[in-house]
Structure 1
Amino acid sequence: MSLLYPSAGLATLDSRARDIFRRVVETYLETGEPVGSHAIQKAGVQLSSASIRNTMQQLTLAGLLASPHTSAGRAPTHAGLRLFVDGLLEVGDIGQEERREIDARLAGMGHSHGANVEEALETASSLLSGLAGGAGIVASPVREAGVRHVEFVALGRDQALAVLVADDGTVENRLMPLSAGVTPSTLQEASNFLNHRLKGRLLVDARQEMRTEVDMARRELDEAAARLVEQGLAAWSGSGERDRNLIVRGRGNLLQDARASEDLERVRVLFDDLEQKEQLIGLLDDVGEAQGVRIYIGAETRLFSLSGSAVIAAPYMSGRQRVLGAIGVIGPARLNYARVIPLVDYTARVLGRILDGQET
């Protein structure tokens, strides 16, 4: 039997190698321990221990399995886990008991006037952590209220306040420098220009289009007013993301799952990773670009390459299929993918329905 490296895919494995590989990974994910030839025999493979060991050795040479420490057993590498998840994993539906628990604790919030977005996100994160193990993570939605009014207010000779009032009543004030010679009429001209083009629009949707409109501003306005327009857009455009929350629940599950000193060190590194708010939100925002659940294993994300963790996440959407945010589970690479994937998917769909109802 000739095996190529994992990038070549399952097509390089014959039926015996594929069967043994699948059983090794499934057993490892169930027990968290390296798998030996005797365990594969007990799983129903009608081959001698020597034949099984020979196949496992070839899978190891192909980069799909590894032998941790001095153990005679094998465990899947991150590349092997990726191959298994993409080509051999059988994902069923969420269990009825789990569905009922999610509906009872989360779906009921959609009918409670006292529940707010933060409560819904915290409940969803805690639910996933408890049901799936690992840590539950969720990024709050980008606030996307339409623009009601914008204005530039002089605070002195060299400083102004850029004020944005949103349709939901929130107000963003950003200090910005003023160029020499800017007059009250210049401030008013820049305010009028932006009010005409932004009123009623979602700022998050207008970002790309406004780049062209800033170029138009340079032709329609004097240079000082055009600079104000550009500075104002720069000051406001990132505010919704800066104010976003990242909710992480269930860190204790990661400690409970640590089995040895090297596991504890990986958990310590993972705890440090979980403090990287902006990077985590960026990862979850990338999830929003996909349809359905996304899975990252080990070094597939720079953030979790050292801890060797896995992330299973899915976007939660409005009824109009607009991505609001993403929710997921972080844990060791030996997560129970077949069980966690439908949990994440269902929780994301319920959360989307709740938040969509609160937006309307």
Structure 2
Amino acid sequence: MLVTLVSRRQTLSAVTPTLPSSELTQLNERSREIFRQIVDSYLATGEPVGSRNISRLLPTSLSPASVRNVMQDLELLGLIQAPHTSAGRLPTELGLRFFVDAMLEFGDLAAQDRAQIDAQIRARTPSRSLEDVLIEASATLSGLSRGAGVVVTGKRDQRLKHIEFVRLEPTQALVILVSEEGAVENRVITVPVGLPTSALVEASNYLNARARGKTIEDLKREMSSALDAGRAELDDLTTKLINTGLASWSGGSSDLPRQLIVRGQANLLEDLHAGEDLERIRLLFADIEAKKDLIDLLGRAEGGDGVRIFIGSENKLFSLSGSSMIAAPFRDANQKIVGVLGVIGPTRLNYARVVPMVDYTAKVIGKLLKP
């Protein structure tokens, strides 16, 4: 589900099945107001609410009996349910989806939340790597939302500062890559038998004269153009060495490793009420640790410009734990999506507050990625 910011209000267009439009038209103003009160109560307390309490909250006078009649209609539509034998009602996942899609308004991010995000994330120094910033972002989201803050990244083409080839074995060499952000990564490559040490030095010097501020793909294109134009000024062995080294780093965007950062998982335990099944949250923790499903889910949020909201069993990751996730992509200076960040929490997340929080944090990260 994509969120589009519109001045003081955000509207959401669903990408998951909801109620048929013919049934939605059955919800008159009274039904919508009672349904809103049920959802608001659930988001505030996590507890079921009864018709007597609802009647006291309504702006117009309505008896508990009349409220019960409306609640029965809402239950038939699948929007609310009675947990166990309780006389009160809670919204279903379908009800929450309808509420978020059609009824919830999102204002601007609170000034206090904005100031905290700015203070903890914008304070980026040359010694502070992008990974440090993303860890801080996930921790900040966790602290503000009382959920788990998550970030997945890895599609970003890092800009280079230094490349070096070091011999390991007669047929193996280590390619050392240092990014402008200070990240150091290594690759082991196979080199031709009898490759002289001078070729390793020449390859390192050739690339370092051209690498700074460029991505691996930039270097590959430049190398290819130089070879086509006969301007490479390298012998065949050194050229093969460079091509092998660059190829080991690119490999296609689909093969790039995805880094997952999670902070504040313990917050998910705080929302449990007495008697609730801890096994559900334990299973969620296990799924998060396994990473694959969460990375896949966050990857789905890369498909649009705005915030996406995943509620409960709409995704298999949350089908047992009854959780929700709010996520948004962030972009580099070329407007390329390079990662996604978000918040995992109970289905009674404060959506109106967390959605603009996630959206703003994604924009702050994007600005930090600009030169």
Structure 1 and Structure 2 fold alike (TM over 0.5): yes
How much has 1:338 moved relative to structure 2?
Answer: 0.7
* 1:295-335 Cα deviation digits (max 9, x unpaired): 00011212221111100011122344222211111011111
Instruction: Note if 1:119 corresponds to 2:111.
Output: no
Query: Is the Cα–Cα contact under 8 Å of residues 157 and 216 in structure 2 kept in the other structure?
Result: no
> Structure 2: which 5+ runs fail to align?
1-16, 196-202, 222-242
Answer whether contact 1:6 1:64 (CA < 8 A) is retained.
Answer: no
Contact 1:296 1:310 in 2 (8 A): yes
Q: Which residue of structure 1 aligns with residue 115 of structure 2?
A: 100
**DSSP-derived class of the 1:50 partner:** helix
Query: Secondary structure of 1:41's partner?
Result: helix
Q: Give, in angstroms, the shift of residue 11 of structure 1.
A: 3.0
Q: Is 1:64 the equivalent of 2:76?
A: no
Residue in structure 2 matched with residue 270 of structure 1 by the alignment = 284
Q: Which residue of 2 aligns with 1:23?
A: 37
* 1:228-277 Cα distance to aligned partner (Å, 9 max, x none): x99x96985269732624233x1221111111332423221221122122
Question: In structure 2, the residue corresponding to 1:118 is in which secondary structure?
Answer: helix
Contiguous gaps of at least 5 residues in structure 1: 185-190, 210-228
Question: Structure 1 residue 290 and structure 2 residue 304: aligned?
Answer: yes
Mapped partners of 1:172, 1:105: distance in 2: 27
Report what 2:52 is aligned to. Answer: 38
Deviation at 1:65, TM superposition (A): 0.8
Q: The residue matched to 1:35 in structure 2 has which SS?
A: coil
Counterpart Cα distance in 1 of 2:279 and 2:103? 31
Q: Which amino acid in 2 is paired with 1:93? A: D
- How far is 1:154 from its partner? 12
8 A Cα contact 1:311 1:328, kept in partner: yes
User: What is the rounded CA distance, in whole Å, between the counterparts of 1:8 and 1:204 in structure 2?
Assistant: 48
Q: Which moved more, 1:319-328 or 1:117-126?
A: 319-328
The 1:237–1:290 alpha-carbon spacing in structure 2 relative to 1, beyond 3 Å, is same
Cα distance in 1, alignment partners of residues 318 and 348 from structure 2: 14
Residues 90 and 338 in structure 1, CA contact (< 8 A), matched pair in contact too: yes
AA aligned to 1:132 is S
Task: Report if the CA contact (8 A) 1:134-1:329 is conserved.
Answer: yes
Question: Is 1:299 equivalent to 2:301 in the alignment?
Answer: no
Q: Secondary structure at the match of 2:256?
A: helix
The letter of the residue matching 1:34 is: P
Q: What percentage of aligned pairs have identical amino acids?
A: 44
Are the structure 2 counterparts of residues 39 and 205 from structure 1 closer, same or farther at C-alpha, using a change threshold of 3 Å?
A: farther
Number of the residue aligned with 2:359: 345
SS at match of 2:318: coil
The one-letter code of the counterpart of 1:51 is S
5 Å-filtered alignment, 1:109-188, equals: 109-110=123-124, 112-141=125-154, 142-145=156-159
Could you tell me how far 1:146 is from its partner in structure 2? 7.2
Partner of 1:316: 330
TM-score by length of 1: 0.73
The residue identity in structure 2 corresponding to 1:88 is M
Name the SS of the counterpart of 2:127 in structure 1: coil
Distance in 1 (alpha carbons) for counterparts of 2:184 and 2:356 = 39
8, 13, 18: which one aligns with 2:20 = 8
Counterpart of 1:303 in structure 2: which amino acid? L
Matches within 5 A, 1:183-262: 236-237=250-251, 241-242=256-257, 244-248=259-263, 250-262=264-276
Instruction: Give the structure with the higher percent helix.
Output: 1
Report the AA paired with residue 73 of structure 1: G
CA distance in 2 between counterparts of 1:127 and 1:342 reads 14
The structure-2 alpha-carbon separation of the partners of 1:235 and 1:144, relative to structure 1 and needing over 3 Å to count, comes to closer
What secondary structure sits across from 1:275 in the alignment?
helix
With normalisation by structure 2, the TM-score equals 0.71
User: What residue in structure 2 maps to residue 336 of structure 1?
Assistant: 350
Does the 8 A contact of 2:258 with 2:295 survive in 1? no
Taking structure 1 as reference, are residues 346 and 243 closer, same or farther at Cα in structure 2, changes over 3 Å only?
A: closer
What is the alpha-carbon root mean square deviation over aligned residues? 3.9
